[in-house]
Amino acid sequence: MAKQQSTYKHIALITGAGTGIGRDLTVLLAEKGMRVYATMRKPERMAEVQTLVEAAGVAEHVSIQALDVTNPEDILKIRETILRDEAEHLKNDAELILINNAGFGIAGAVEDLQIDDFRRIMETNYFGAVALTKAFLADLRFAGRGRIIQVSSGFGRVGAPLMGAYNASKFALEGFSEALRYEMLPFGVFVSLIEPGPVKTEFNENMAESPGHADSPYAKLYERADLVVEKSQIVASEARDVSKAVVKAIEARYPALRYEVGIAGFAAKVTNQFAPQGVIEGIYRFI
């Protein structure tokens, strides 16, 4: 008797699927016939995403679940749910895809931010991704296949004033992911980083900021930064551009370690690799 073929070739778990990139990615992957577990921290987002996938005609492919990546019990629950409900598909060679997309930004000079700001952003952007990844590593290794895709940032390659807390979280994610890629390659599991520049989502509007800019010794820097953020929208990517990069990492036979998205994402790569440090420092000293 011929081996039964899996209905799904890919089973994708997306964190931070309530808004922006994660929401768009949920629809795109479902449209491609993948089984999608769209997870989000805020329960009020779940009905919105349900309406979206129904309108797109892909609701049958999507399971919407609550998940706070900083909560170990939530992580354990989603793992148990996927392994139980998708057991037959996984047994029939479906590939499990982890997409660590949950994250947020904090803007502020290091002196102005509180130490708790650094801890809070690291808990979600870095430790949350590490915890979810670790929860599935043995399963992926045992299966001998799978993808781990980290939605990082161009700020994971280059530092920028007022972005120290966010830089730290994404630099950490980049180092962790590169090391993990080399550990998992012998087991047929690939780790990739997606590195967008600015994206036209709710990210900037939802970014936390240190209070008291007007009284800060860095007040002029904040004013310049506001202008840069405004102008950056000219070259900002769409959420769909990032989603397409994720699809490349899923569908490639041998996916790359890094995928830059947009002009600013590519510029971060070039700056990281080729720009002399003296030139970069000169720009920041005199702007």
Structural domains of the chain, with CATH: 10-286 (3.40.50.720)
Structure-token match 């280059």, residue found: 158
Span 140-160, mean pLDDT?
95
Residues ≥6 apart with Cβ < 8 Å to 158: 268, 271, 272
Q: 235-244, pLDDT tens digit by residue?
A: 778 999 999 9
Q: Which pTM value belongs to this model?
A: 0.89
Catalytic residue among 8, 166, 222, 259: 166
Structure-token match 């952003």, residue found: 121
Q: Is the pLDDT of residue 286 over 60?
A: no
Q: 74-105, pLDDT tens digit by residue?
A: 999 999 999 999 999 999 999 999 999 999 99
Looking at the chain, how many residues does it have? 287
Query: Is 166 one of the annotated active-site residues of the chain?
Result: yes
User: What pLDDT is recorded for position 229?
Assistant: 75
Residues ≥6 apart with Cβ < 8 Å to 193: 149, 150, 152, 156, 173, 174, 177, 178, 257, 258, 259
Q: Is the pLDDT of residue 122 over 80?
A: yes
Residues ≥6 apart with Cβ < 8 Å to 88: 6
What strands lie across the sheet with 189-196, from one edge to the other?
62-66, 35-40, 10-14, 95-100, 146-151, 189-196, 258-261
Q: Is the pLDDT of residue 22 over 80?
A: yes
Residue scoring higher pLDDT (241 or 201)? 241
Q: 28-49, pLDDT tens digit by residue?
A: 999 999 999 999 999 999 999 9
Task: Give the torsion sign (CA, 66, 70, 72, 75).
Answer: positive
- What is the rounded distance in angstroms from the CA atom of residue 110 to the CA atom of residue 112? 5
Give residue 230's Cα distance to chain centre.
23
For 47, the 3-state DSSP assignment is: helix
Q: Please state which of the ranges 1-15, 73-87, 159-173, 175-189 shows the lowest mean pLDDT.
A: 1-15
Q: 255-265, pLDDT tens digit by residue?
A: 999 999 976 65
Q: Which of 2, 35, 39 is nearest to 17 (CA)?
A: 39
